[in-house]
Amino acid sequence: MYPVKERLHGVLETLPPGVRLVAISKYHPAEYIMAAYEEGQRVFGESHEQEIREKHTVLPKDIEWHFIGHLQTNKVKYIVPYITMIEAVDSLKLLREIEKQAAKVERTVKVLLELHIAEEATKYGLTPDDCRALLAGGEWRQMEHVRICGLMMMASNVDDEGQIAREFQTAADFFDEVKAGFFADDPEFCERSWGMSDDYSIAVNHRSTMVRIGTAIFGPRVY
Ligand SMILES: *Cc1c(COP(=O)(O)O)cnc(C)c1O
């Protein structure tokens, strides 16, 4: 088996205090998750509804599951009964569906708004303007089963560390704007989810509070 325990500790040792690890276990077997679990890791992230459902069913119930992928509205009802956080909310439509389904099962689901800053045209997410418009619309304030806890973003997949750093900084500045404009009195709006295996050491220098790391812990994914 891949040396998950050693890799996990290797990553944890490099994280500054205040930065939480979301171990991204997509495409990796339940045994790998258990290896990390036995070392104390409790927060895991997955990006496919069926895969997370299967893993949630067989793995310990005190695991905190984060959904990190693009979520179709028709899949929301399947994950809402047990999901802790949906990290990549990129539309009001999706937010409404989470509210509706979470109300049915009397849960509150934490969400992050996914910010699109990277240059790649293919990535999902809200541009800063989309994000401002969604928040200014105010409908989210009436949603009692959804709690917006911060922002999530992915930097461009490039070698230029300067560009990656600029994108994280843009996200951090935007967080401050949104915090001051809409969440000044809400201590729960505090999460900045950025940083993956290749760029988390840059992300933590730009105020990430949550890093989403897969490959550096579990090895290459077999699709
Ligand atoms: C797969 C994935 C990650 C983890 O990527 P690694 O490079 O394996 O660390 C992080 N965030 C999102 C949104 C992902 O889809």
Kindly report, residue by residue over 141-157, the tens digit of the pLDDT: 999 999 999 999 999 99
Share of the chain above pLDDT 90, in %: 96
Q: Residue 123's pLDDT is what? A: 64
Is the CB of 7 inside a 6 Å radius of any atom of ligand 1?
no
Q: 63 and 45 in contact (C-beta within 8 Å)? A: no
Provide mean pLDDT across the span 33-44. Answer: 98
DSSP per-residue codes, 51-118: HHHHHHHHS-TT-EEEE-S---GGGHHHHTTT-SEEEEE--HHHHHHHHHHHHHTT--EEEEEEE--S
Q: How many A from CA of 139 to the centre of ligand 1?
A: 30
Q: 72 and 114 in contact (C-beta within 8 Å)? A: no
Is the CB of 123 inside a 6 Å radius of any atom of ligand 1?
no
Cα dihedral sign for 100, 101, 104, 107?
negative
Closest ligand 1 atom to the C-alpha of 218? 8
Q: Residue 197's pLDDT is what? A: 98
Task: Label residue 223 by pLDDT band (50, 70, 90).
Answer: confident
Mutation choice for ligand 1 from 68, 122, 152, CB with most ligand atoms inside 8 A = 68
Which tokens sit at 189?
């709006």
Tens-place pLDDT, residues 8-29? 999 999 999 999 999 999 999 9
Q: How many A from CA of 196 to the centre of ligand 1?
A: 6
Which tokens sit at 213?
């790391």
Is the predicted pLDDT of residue 7 greater than 90, yes or no? yes
Provide mean pLDDT across the span 104-108. Answer: 98
Is the CB of 71 inside a 6 Å radius of any atom of ligand 1?
no
Q: Residue 81's pLDDT is what? A: 97
Q: At what angle do helices 30-38 and 4-14 cross, to 10 degrees?
A: 50
Q: How many A from CA of 138 to the centre of ligand 1?
A: 31
What residues pair up with 20 in beta bridges, in sequence order?
A: 210
What span, in angstroms and rounded, lies between the C-alpha atoms of 29 and 21?
Answer: 19
Q: How many A from CA of 81 to the centre of ligand 1?
A: 24
What span, in angstroms and rounded, lies between the C-alpha atoms of 198 and 213?
Answer: 9
Q: Residue 152's pLDDT is what? A: 98
Is the predicted pLDDT of residue 122 greater than 90, yes or no? no
Task: Label residue 120 by pLDDT band (50, 70, 90).
Answer: confident
What span, in angstroms and rounded, lies between the C-alpha atoms of 131 and 207?
Answer: 20
**96 C-beta neighbours (distance < 10 Å), count:** 16
Is the predicted pLDDT of residue 167 greater than 90, yes or no? yes
Is the CB of 135 inside a 6 Å radius of any atom of ligand 1?
no
Q: How many A from CA of 28 to the centre of ligand 1?
A: 12
Among 38-42, 120-124, 135-139, 201-205, name the one with the lowest average pLDDT. Answer: 120-124
Q: Residue 201's pLDDT is what? A: 97
Cα dihedral sign for 206, 134, 108, 147?
positive
Q: How many A from CA of 77 to the centre of ligand 1?
A: 23
